Structure 1
């Protein structure tokens, strides 16, 4: 459907509704985003959700106008990523979505029905939650697909950081950072930069005078985590952007740092919390799996039912796992080894596979589960805890560098996506 038709449909819907209940507010197009639109009801939904969450946590919020601005920006970025996903042919099937929800419920020790009731109690609409989760999965895949190929880490980089950490006796402390970004345009003039610097200085004044960091972040930040109060989550200092790590080193909890200048604008940081991380021991599993990939010929349901049949035969002792894998698995890396994946940390696998391995007992056969690669059944053969050898330390250092570079490139990718888009915010009149 063309954009003009989308807008026309929304308006026609409004006219027909007004004849039934003139006093009821008509849904309208709030923002045009390239070939799609953001509706007023979508913005209202996010604002109300943020208010509910803040009320449950006893947190104060900025004005409704500030919340609306942040909600609009969040929806604009989601919309742009969904349009890119459509061009890339990226989709999340109902089966993948159901499996993700099942994993979330199990991680919270809830049955599917109990989890559904919890979502309804907290959010009011389970189907809306499902579709929002689907969108989050799709946008996550868009970022991964476009950013991973930008990240290259040489062995020399790993060696250098490993040596530096050993020389400095680097600790395993993690920091829960808060972040406020006062952005500047991609082709900023000196006036744009000066204006942003003034706004950043005013934010610093408010924070130093005791204003709540999360409230100011929601009101003022252009960062992707603004609606979460600027919360960046837990990171080792070597996983942060270099600009952040150099500024945070040696700082204490609740310190305010900034403004720090980068190509994106001016950054203001705080340390919400600090914790130690014990990485002396690593949990590994020896596992194997069978992968069936749905296709034009093989439907999702048929792929899943094949694996259900395999699992039943294996549990009954009527089949051999290795033989089934050699005959049927579509994972070229493990097929010839009977599906054997060897010893590894579960965290190296995609989330659905990782979560399944973590749940399984030794020798237990999983139910079929979906990842972006297809349908699997898996079995954990052994579990062990090992010391963090030099090789494991290299892997950890590699992950730190990767996470830092990935976060930096993700921000660059989203900024480029936003800069290249046609955005038209329609007046409320």
Structure 2
């Protein structure tokens, strides 16, 4: 969810910029046919103008209009393909889930929803437009997870190897904020095409070494997913970035350039935009149990909450047993058969609503019904403990780092495959 919120915050900036576009009355037309959908000329124009206005606000230089239009069109093509897939898969985001996400975004900015709405209004952004942009980001994220997750395989040996590497590195972990430019190579490229791509990558390195702006070069030349963001990949732990990048940037200093690095996608050029160290500390773990009741066609949102309130009253009065209620009524298959027990875990692994409810509980206390994206929860805190990194925690951490790395790599591959298999026709301007 953190990645979604980061993307949404960027979208806010782009949406705000889009409202600065000139109010000329233009006759709209179809610019690109994408399978069963279309991209309108106005969509491309709005995105280009958004990037321009955002760059102006940040004092950032930009490449040519043609390069901007090409990048904007590619982004919209990928967004269209993912939206069409979401429709086929029946992926939707309910209004309660959307409201909870917006509330989390506001909290992340140190504000509440009312303050967020005022800020949007001050920037000329309609709240309903903002809501739908977030809904779109959530749906896109779910489409990616559903299609990419099954492509990720992590062997026990990989986990063991990474645990060893983490232990060798000790308690201080380096993080890098990377800039990324990809000079892409088409599938089945000839030797001449590969050579030409290498020459373009070398020329970019040469220009960067002589003072050219990295963000401008990324927007104008990169085939990477972060091109319109100036190539900024954000902060990444050495163990969560793509393997090729991890091996290349270790021990590199701020502002150093790395590359070109060859992969199946093309030639990568990296810039270390910044570095920072991370100190690992003791973590409080919680052992909790819950009963999950999601709303359904036959059980409304209000009725689900009411049912858990009744369960809570019965538990407090001693008329019911938590484990028995969980086995009979909980819709969480992973914990229901265990009487709702989730086992010892870092509370950060839970969705924010669940985590926040746990933080407010004393040992053995029951929460009020809590609404999350999964449904309504009744939670009991069994106990807390402060724990150093156990072997299980090391395994979980190593697995998650490997998963994040491979998920990103497989996402890029999946997007390229989907793009290559789609019917796309760019119409004449």
Please identify, of 165-174 and 125-134, the stretch whose mean Cα deviation from structure 2 is larger: 165-174
Deviates more, 1:50-59 or 1:31-40: 50-59
Match of 2:7 in 1: none
For residues 305 and 124 of structure 2, the distance between their equivalents in structure 1, rounded to whole angstroms, comes to: 31
Name the structure 2 match of 1:3: none
Give, in angstroms, the shift of residue 141 of structure 1: 1.0
Q: 1:368 aligns with which of 367, 370, 374?
A: 370
Output the TM-score relative to the length of structure 2. 0.84
- Checking the alignment, whether the CA contact within 8 Å between 1:283 and 1:345 is kept in structure 2 is yes
Deviations 1:263-283 (A, max 9, x none): 111111011111111223223
Query: Could you list the per-position Cα deviations for residues 101-155 of structure 1 after superposition, in whole angstroms to 9, with x for gaps in the alignment?
Result: 1222233332221122223334612222211111111111111111111212222
| Kept after mapping to 2: 8 A contact 1:70/1:226 | yes
Task: Using the TM superposition, name which of 316-325 and 119-128 deviates more.
Answer: 316-325
Query: Partners of 1:361 and 1:49 in 2: how far apart?
Result: 45
Separation of aligned partners in 1, 2:366 and 2:216: 47
Aligned-partner SS, 1:394: helix
User: Are residue 125 (structure 1) and residue 135 (structure 2) matched?
Assistant: no
CA change 1:62–1:299 in 2 (3 A) is farther
Q: Would the aligned equivalents of 1:256 and 1:268 in 2 still touch at CA under 8 Å?
A: yes
Inter-partner Cα distance in structure 1 for 2:218 and 2:118: 32
Match of 2:295 in 1: 294
- Which whole-Å deviations, capped at 9, do the CAs of 1:222-252 have from their partners, x for residues lacking one? 1111122111122221222121111112211
Alignment of 1:172 with 2:164, yes or no, is no
Partner of 1:207: 208
After the TM superposition, which of the residue ranges 383-392 and 195-204 deviates more from structure 2? 383-392
| CA deviation string 1:297-339 (max 9, x = no partner) | 33445435545x4598589979868265455322233235553
Q: Secondary structure at the match of 1:276?
A: strand
Which residue number corresponds to residue 20 of structure 2?
none
CA displacement at 1:379 relative to structure 2:
5.1
Aligned pairs for 1:288-327 (under 5 A) are 288-300=289-301, 302-304=303-305, 306-307=307-308, 309-310=309-310, 313=313, 322=322, 325-327=326-328
Task: Give the alignment of 1:102-113 within 5 angstroms.
Answer: 102-113=103-114
Distance in 1, Cα, partners of 2:255 & 2:358: 35
CA deviation string 1:59-107 (max 9, x = no partner): 3333343333222211111110111112222111222212211222233
CA separation of 1:225/1:346 partners in 2, compared to 1, >3 Å: closer, same or farther? farther
CA contact (8 A) 2:239 2:246 kept: yes
Residues 321 and 44 (structure 1 numbering): CA distance in 2 closer, same or farther, change over 3 Å?
Answer: farther
Give distance in 2, aligned partners of 1:330 and 1:192.
54
CA offset at residue 393 of structure 1? Answer: 2.1
Contact 1:346-1:357 at 8 Å conserved across structures: no
Write the distance in 1 (CA, Å) between the matches of 2:84 and 2:369: 34
Following the alignment from structure 2 to structure 1, what is the Cα–Cα distance between the partners of residues 49 and 377? Answer: 39
Query: What secondary structure does 1:333 align onto?
Result: helix
Separation (CA, whole Å) in 2 of partners of 1:34 and 1:255 = 42
Report the CA distance between 1:414 and its aligned residue: 0.9
Q: Quick one: distance in 2 between partners of 1:138 and 1:211?
A: 37
CA contact (8 A) 1:356 1:366 kept: no
Give 3-state SS (helix, strand or coil) of 1:67's partner: helix
Map of 2:76 onto structure 1: 75
Q: TM-score, normalised by structure 1?
A: 0.84
CA distance 1:325–1:390, shift in 2 (3 Å): closer
Query: Which is further off, 419-428 or 122-131?
Result: 122-131
Mark the CA change 1:359 to 1:83 in structure 2 (over 3 Å): closer, same or farther: farther
Query: C-alpha distance in 2, partners of 1:189/1:88?
Result: 37
Q: Which runs of 5+ in 2 are unaligned?
A: 1-23
Spell out structure 1 runs of 4+ moving beyond 6 A: 314-321
Q: Distance in 2 between matches of 1:380 and 1:103?
A: 23
1:111-260 matched pairs, under 5 angstroms: 111-122=112-123, 124-167=125-168, 171-260=172-261
Q: CA deviation at 1:256?
A: 0.6
Tell me by how many angstroms 1:194 deviates. 2.4
Q: Please report how far the alpha carbon of residue 381 of structure 1 lies from its aligned counterpart in structure 2 after TM superposition.
A: 5.2
Residues 196 and 364 (structure 1), Cα distance of their counterparts in 2 relative to 1, 3 Å cut: farther
How many residues of Structure 1 are paired with residues of Structure 2 in the alignment?
403
Distance 1:412 1:358, change over 3 A: farther
Match of 1:85 in 2: 86
RMSD: 2.8
Matched position secondary structure for 2:333: coil
